[in-house]
């Protein structure tokens, strides 16, 4: 067997056999298959698709490329959540401790931001002392102490996916649903959790722009989870407008702490509670409601234990940007549209995100919006506050926000429902 044989087969529309898939994943991981050869195969997959059997085999081969984690030593069931990414999506931060407060164990392996979408690890690293990189033994210790852990995936978890993800990002093959689904699910299945809830974002600020494409991706991932023996459920949720009122690392941590304290933006609370209930149900846990955990302080207690166990100081002041710039309303009216992608792009240009994985991020940079679609604003009222350590970044952020919102004298926003659809077995 050789790489050219596999590339040609998929180029010509054939189904790849299980031995072909096993061979190419194993040999790409080891370096025997060149990057340009795998890039050609990825493009053939993007253009010709994969059958369900092929996607299952591809996912299993990536899982076998590394270790599979085991949480049998815990005295509570494990349950996890994965989001496909959006703007202002800080849900993981209040969600993991809320589920822990209700009896679940949440081994949340998260990532960093790239482009206009924020990364959970970047947000948490704005907390002084907090550590993203833990050994498996340290993860188990934090889970026992706090009930939840949020950290980076280890080098041994699905190394094939690590190489493939970087390659897809630079070869125009990110859009392939078989490759997206297998990438996400190989890591989540290898993570060893017994139950998984998928938050598949839909809209301008998400990777999936339409409910139809999001449904296809969600259905594929649910089937992969079920085939692997992981109880898996997906929610399609709105990302035509950003979540909450902030986009940026420390800004989003502060907003998450508000939610944990029983307050915070209504949409962040609603989605946190909905996903937490799904996670608890998938894990077979009944009893305490996550809404109560946010209200009575038990979720906050789990948050503090988790942050401290990972070296952070939950009482330390969060970083703030050195400079701010406010955009005010040029007229009075109803805000009928707020483009999530534009807001995310502005936050990225202010320093909250990165163009390359190795780029640093500014903890204090980001965007605060002071009105949400459906709200009435008056002339001169602040609409956005931009935060950056470098004032020369404001001009490009302002350009990103130009045309990103509509103010009309009388109007009603045309918005997707926050929770669009639920997909299960």
Active site residue 183: yes
Contact between residue 326 and residue 382 where contact means Cβ atoms under 8 Å apart: yes
Per the annotation, the verdict on 122 as an active-site residue is no
User: Of residues 10, 60, 163, 187, which has the active-site annotation?
Assistant: 187
Beta-carbon contacts of 393 under 8 Å, excluding residues fewer than 6 positions away, are 349, 350, 351, 365
Instruction: Provide the token pair at 364.
Output: 């204090």
HEC string for the chain: CCHHHHHHHHHCCCCCCHHHHHHHHHHHHHCCCCHHHHHHHHHHHHHHCCCHHHHHHHHHHHHHCCCCCCCCCCCCCECEEEECCCCCCCCHHHHHHHHHHCCCEEEEEECCCECCECCHHHHHCCCCCCCCCCCHHHHHHHHHHHCEEEEECCCCCCHHHHHHHHHHHHCCCCCCHHHHHHHHHHHHHHCCCCEEEEEEEECCCCCECCHHHHHHHHHHHHHHHHHCCCEEEEEEEECCCCCCCEEEHHHHHHHHHHHHCCCCCHHHHHHHHHHHHHHHHHCCCCCCCHHHHHHHCHHHHHHHHHHHHCCCCCCCCCCCCCEEEEEECCCCEEEEEECHHHHHHHHHHHHHCCCCCCCCCCCCCEEEECCCCCCEECCCCEEEEEEECCHHHHHHHHHHHCCCEEEECCCCCCCCCCEEEEECC
Distance CA 227, CA 27 (A): 25
370 is annotated as an active-site residue? no
> Is 17 among the residues known to form the active site?
no
Identified catalytic residue from 89, 122, 161, 267: 161
User: Which listed residue (10, 27, 82, 112) is catalytic?
Assistant: 82
Catalytic-role residue among 90, 123, 168, 304: 168
Q: Is 168 a catalytic residue?
A: yes
* Spatial distance between the Cα atoms of 14 and 298, rounded to a whole number of angstroms: 54
What the block records as the tokens of 216 is 């296809």
Q: Which residues are catalytic?
A: 82, 161, 168, 183, 187
């Amino acid at each position: 067997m050789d790489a050219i044989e596999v590339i040609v087969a998929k180029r010509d529309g054939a189904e790849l056999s299980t031995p072909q898939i096993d061979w190419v994943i194993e040999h790409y991981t080891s370096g025997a298959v060149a990057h340009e050869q795998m890039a050609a195969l990825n493009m053939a997959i993007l253009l010709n698709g994969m059958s369900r059997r092929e996607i299952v085999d591809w996912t299993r081969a990536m899982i076998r490329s590394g270790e599979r984690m085991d949480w049998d030593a815990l005295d509570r069931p494990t349950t996890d959540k994965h989001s496909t990414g959006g703007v202002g999506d800080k849900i993981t931060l209040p969600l993991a401790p809320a589920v822990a407060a209700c009896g679940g164990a949440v081994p949340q392996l998260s990532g960093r931001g790239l482009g206009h979408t924020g990364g959970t690890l970047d947000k948490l690293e704005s907390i002084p002392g907090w550590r993203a990189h833990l050994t498996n033994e340290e993860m188990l210790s934090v889970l026992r102490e706090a009930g939840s852990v949020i950290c980076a995936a280890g080098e041994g978890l699905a190394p094939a996916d690590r190489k493939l993800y970087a390659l897809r990002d630079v070869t125009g093959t990110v859009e392939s649903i078989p490759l997206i689904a297998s990438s996400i699910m190989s890591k989540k299945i290898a993570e060893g959790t017994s139950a998984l809830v998928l938050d598949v974002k839909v809209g301008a600020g998400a990777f999936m722009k339409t409910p139809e494409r999001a449904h296809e991706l969600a259905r594929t991932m649910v089937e992969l989870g079920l085939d692997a023996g992981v109880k898996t459920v997906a929610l399609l949720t709105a990302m035509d407008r950003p979540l909450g009122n902030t986009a940026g690392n420390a800004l989003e941590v502060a907003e998450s702490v508000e939610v944990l304290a029983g307050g915070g933006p209504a949409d962040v609370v609603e989605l946190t509670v909905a996903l937490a209930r799904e996670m608890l149900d998938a894990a077979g846990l009944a009893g305490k409601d996550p809404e109560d955990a946010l209200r009575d302080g038990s979720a906050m207690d789990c948050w503090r234990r988790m942050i401290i166990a990972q070296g952070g100081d939950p009482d330390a002041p969060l970083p703030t940007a050195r400079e701010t710039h406010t955009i005010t309303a040029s007229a009075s009216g109803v805000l009928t549209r707020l483009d999530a992608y534009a807001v995310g792009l502005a936050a990225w240009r202010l320093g909250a995100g990165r163009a390359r994985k190795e780029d640093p991020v500014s903890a204090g940079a980001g965007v605060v919006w002071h009105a949400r679609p459906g709200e009435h604003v008056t002339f001169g009222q602040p609409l956005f506050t931009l935060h950056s350590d470098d004032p020369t970044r404001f001009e490009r952020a302002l350009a990103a926000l130009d045309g990103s919102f509509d103010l009309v004298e009388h109007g009603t926003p045309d918005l997707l429902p926050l929770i669009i659809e639920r997909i299960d077995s």
